[in-house]
A and B are shown apart, each in its own frame.
Chain A
Amino acid sequence: MVVSATSRPGGGRGSGDPGGPPPPSGAGRGRATARLSVRLRRLGLPYLLILPALLLELLVHLIPMVIGIGMSFIKLTQFFIRNWSAAPFAGWSNYHLAVDFNGPVGRALLHSFFVTVTFTVITVALSWFLGMAGAVLMQGEFRGRGFLRALFLVPYALPVYAGVITWSFLLQRESGLINHVLVDQLHLFSDKPFWLIGQNSFFSIVVVSLWRWWPFAFLVLMAGLQNIPQDLYEASSIDGAGWMRQLRSVTLPMLRPVNQVLVLVLFLWTFNDFNTPYVLFGKTAPQEADLISIHIYQSSFVTWNFGTGSAMSVLLLLFLLLVTAVYLLITSRRRSDA
């Protein structure tokens, strides 16, 4: 690859160097080749310019994905991690195992999938709602606006680990601040509830995740609001539109392209989020909050069964691709209709 990359432009330069003395015979042909090579160069230049980026893209994104898909078709356990080629071909058996919802592995995966979908829908909806509310309320000028804006963005700016580990301290049953307030101060419960195991763990992960993601929605929507021309609000208020009507007829329609991207990105990030549950619960999440990213991690790394884990990852990838495609199809069509 290295040799061919250097020889091609080098050769072109030799035959078409305009600064060099013209060849003794066939000057016209020489000029024609020069012109051709110039045109070729013009055509090829853009491709050549993106070549490094393309190679990087292949290296960073595509190759690991292809390897992951390959892994899902072999029985890759601890016996073979040193020499993958020795791992027996598994065919579809890893996939069968993952989608056999009567078997224990498939059932656990399906459970985890439903937990994750519920978790994602709630988190995205609430994040969007809070972000929207925050952005709209912050739209007008008032004292302390800058401070509040900065404050709202803190969770997003904090390193995940620092933020989430603090939550896990707050949510401790015995010594956590939340139980201290709820039980010792407000006497809302007679017995201290658990927040990190059992039923409540689901609410804990939703709250922590919401805390982490809503500032992003806030940030994006705030930027989107800046782009709505002030005239629209003035014109609508002359027409007698109140605040609510303005929100419905000006703000929301104008934000539609922003929302389209925002909801999709929030959905994908929340669905795939590994850091938040991992820091909050550790390597093994409680069953009620068994999010799919942790579940797959456990199915591959903790139990040393990389083939099954890869098969699950591929299934997850396909699901997210499908959701994304359907979502984009629906939202773009609606936009072109409107």
Chain B
Amino acid sequence: MLTRKPYVFAVAGALMFAAAACGGSNDSSSSGSAGGGSGSITYWASNQGTSLESDKQILQPELDRFTKETGIKVNLEVVPWSDLLNRILAAATSGKGPDVVNIGNTWSASLQATGAFVPLDDTQLNALGGKARFLGPSLAATGAPGQPPVGAPLYSTAYALYYNKHMFKDAGIADPPKTWDELVADGKKLTKDGKWGLAVEGASVSENAHMIFTLGQQHGGDLFDSSGKSQFDSPANVAAVKQYLNFIASDKITNPSDAAYSNGTEALQDFIGGKAAMVMWQSASGTLKTGGMTPDDYGVAPIPLPDPSSGGKQVDSMVGGINISVFDSAANKDGALKFVKFMTSKQTQQDLNKAYGSLPTVTDAYDDPAFQTPEIKTYQQILGNTAAPLPQVANESQFETLVGNAMNQLFADAASGKPITDETVKAKLTEANQQMTN
């Protein structure tokens, strides 16, 4: 009997292992939407507040209200930006993920191509109040043109110029700059005693990509031609990149140190700390408030537009924002769609955008006095008139990476005093362009 024992253990071990291996897939398909069942959905929210914890506190009362109205429980997870895309990709690949997810709207077309999200047809959009209810530019950033959107706009943002009112006053500047020449001239006046005119995130791939899109438009260029082929090294884009780099290289209104700023907070910290007088940012008011700045300290103006006679487009920002999408593999698609409707309802839009300092994506939410401040009005004007969505092409994220990366290297060159010429810029952009797998 004794000799047989190891046998039994070995077999038992192999059996347990086999059972675990086989059972694994069954288990996870039902737990994919943690909790499953008709009575609950899983929601991955993006990090909109100052921390993941603050997001939970802001979202929870709304989720409770949803549960009260519909009886559907929401399992919330706030996913940091650094992980969100990878998590979504993993969920799309495995078919096991949450029911509802927030996405950065610049990913729309890329993620649309995966087919992982439920496309919202007219019936579903009508259930949300119809297309006309949403801000046009925000709705345009929900997928490739001509295809049903793969999400509803949830929060809207745009880039604007934040300027320090006290520093402007001390330098004898009355109004925020309206042209780029004015901005550079003001910047030079403000750059003194270790303080700088303008702060940028020179090593941030996404900020760089967004700025080059905007400036490229202003120079009359496009990143992709009408057939969807990339043309990063077109003369307009070269001029745009050069203009941006020159804040460090020749205008010298930006601290060369900014070339290493990458985590999306450093330039704004310089602005809060009074080390820089201007910064181009999306919905900064929440962070500025945390940093102790009040609307008396700073003003918000649109980023300068080009002279209309120059032939450039009147674009001063990309359409920023967050969309909310339903996974095609959702265990509770009905509940998920109800949740999207709830999140885009007037009340929820008002509550959440107020808390985050972003803009509602639906027109009927603007009657709240909180959205009548000068800052919000400026943003509303930008989003309504002069913002344009980033190219809605499937390889948009490739563009952001390649161009943003090329910019990082050029910024490093500019900061270390290497010459920035049309040739050096074009060479880098051509290299990035060649790496696109069109």
A→B interface (CB under 8 Å):
1-2, 5-6, 9, 13, 19, 41, 45, 48-49, 51-52, 55-56, 59, 77-79, 81-82, 103-105, 108, 172-174, 192, 194, 196-199, 282-284, 286-287, 298, 301-305, 308
Q: Which residue of A lies closest to B436 (CB)?
A: A303
With A173-B260, A282-B262, A282-B263 in contact, do A82 and B92 touch (Cβ < 8 Å)? yes
Contact of A286 among B408, B434, B437 (CB under 8 A): B408
- With contact pairs A104-B434, A284-B401 given, residues A5 and B86 touching in the complex (Cβ less than 8 Å): no
Task: Give B397's nearest chain A residue, CB to CB.
Answer: A304
Contact of A284 among B11, B86, B205, B397 (CB under 8 A): B205
A298, B17: Cβ atoms closer than 8 Å: no
Contact of B115 among A82, A105, A174 (CB under 8 A): A82
Complexed CA–CA distance, A286 and B405 (Å): 8
- Taking a contact as CB atoms under 8 Å apart, the answer to whether B15 and A78 are in contact is no
Q: What are 20 A-B pairs at a CB distance below 8 A?
A: A49-B6, A52-B13, A79-B394, A82-B114, A82-B115, A104-B431, A104-B435, A173-B257, A196-B203, A196-B260, A198-B416, A282-B262, A282-B263, A284-B401, A301-B86, A301-B89, A303-B401, A303-B437, A304-B398, A308-B437
- Residue among A52, A174, A199 making CB contact with B255, cutoff 8 Å: A174
A304 touches B10 (CB 8 A): no
Chain A residues whose CB sits within 8 angstroms of the CB of B402 once the complex forms? 303
Interface size on B, residues (CB 8 A): 54
Contact of B409 among A9, A59, A77, A287 (CB under 8 A): A287
CB distance from A257 to the nearest CB of B (A): 34
Q: Which of A2, A9, A48, A304 has the most CB of B within 10 A?
A: A304
Of the listed residues A6, A19, A198, A283, the one surrounded by the most CB atoms of chain B closer than 10 A to its CB is A198
Contact partner of B114 (CB less than 8 A), chosen from A56, A78, A104, is A78
Q: Mark B175-219, 1 if CB is under 8 A from A, else 0.
A: 000000000000000000000000000010100000000000000
Q: Across the interface, do A284 and B111 meet the contact criterion of CB distance under 8 Å?
A: no
Enumerate chain A residues within 8 angstroms of B89, measured Cβ to Cβ. Answer: 78, 81, 301, 304
The reply to whether B95 and A41 contact each other, CB–CB distance below 8 Å, is no
CB proximity of A4 to chain B, nearest CB, Å:
11
Pick from B21, B397, B413: contact of A302, CB under 8 Å: B397
Residues on B with beta carbons closer than 8 Å to the beta carbon of A104: 431, 434-435
B10 touches A51 (CB 8 A): yes
Q: Would you call A81 and B92 a contact (CB within 8 A)? A: yes
B residues neighboring A (CB under 8 Å): 1, 3-4, 6-7, 10-11, 13-15, 17-19, 21-22, 86, 89, 92-93, 95, 110-111, 113-116, 203, 205, 255-257, 259-260, 262-263, 394-395, 397-398, 401-402, 404-405, 408-409, 411-413, 415-416, 431, 434-435, 437
Please, how many angstroms separate the alpha-carbon atoms of A283 and B408 in the complex?
12
Indicate if the CB atoms of B7 and A48 lie closer than 8 Å.
Answer: yes
CA distance A173 to B401 in the complex (A): 24
**Residues of chain B within 8 A of A174, CB atoms compared:** 255, 257
- B residues near A59, Cβ cutoff 8 Å: 21
Chain A residues with CB under 8 A of B397: 302-304
Contacts of B398 in A (CB 8 A): 303-305
B115 in contact with A5 (CB, 8 Å): no
Count chain B CB atoms within 10 A of each CB in A9, A48, A52 and give the residue with the most. A52
Q: Is the beta-carbon distance between B260 and A51 smaller than 8 angstroms?
A: no
7 A-B pairs with the lowest CB-CB distances in the bound complex, closest first? A104-B434, A197-B412, A174-B257, A48-B10, A52-B13, A198-B412, A303-B398
Instruction: Given A45-B6, A48-B7, A305-B437, verify A197-B17 contact (CB < 8 Å).
Output: no
The residue from A2, A9, A81, A304 contacting B19, defined by CB atoms under 8 A apart: A2
Question: Which residues from chain A contact B11 at a C-beta distance below 8 Å?
Answer: 5-6, 9, 48
- B113 adjacent to A78 (CB under 8 Å): yes
A82 to B115, CA, bound (A): 7
Nearest chain B CB to A285's CB is how many angstroms away?
Answer: 9
Contacts of B409 in A (CB 8 A): 286-287
The answer to whether B416 touches A194 (Cβ under 8 A) is yes
Given the complex, which residues of A lie within 8 Å of B405, measured CB to CB?
A: 284
Question: Which chain A residues lie closer than 8 Å to B21 at the CB level?
Answer: 55, 59
Pair A78/B111 contact, Cβ less than 8 Å:
yes
B18 touching A1 by the CB < 8 A rule? yes
Q: Which residues of B contact A19 (CB under 8 A)?
A: 1
Given that A79-B114, A173-B260, A304-B397 are contacting pairs, would A194 and B15 also be in contact in the complex, using a CB cutoff of 8 Å?
A: no
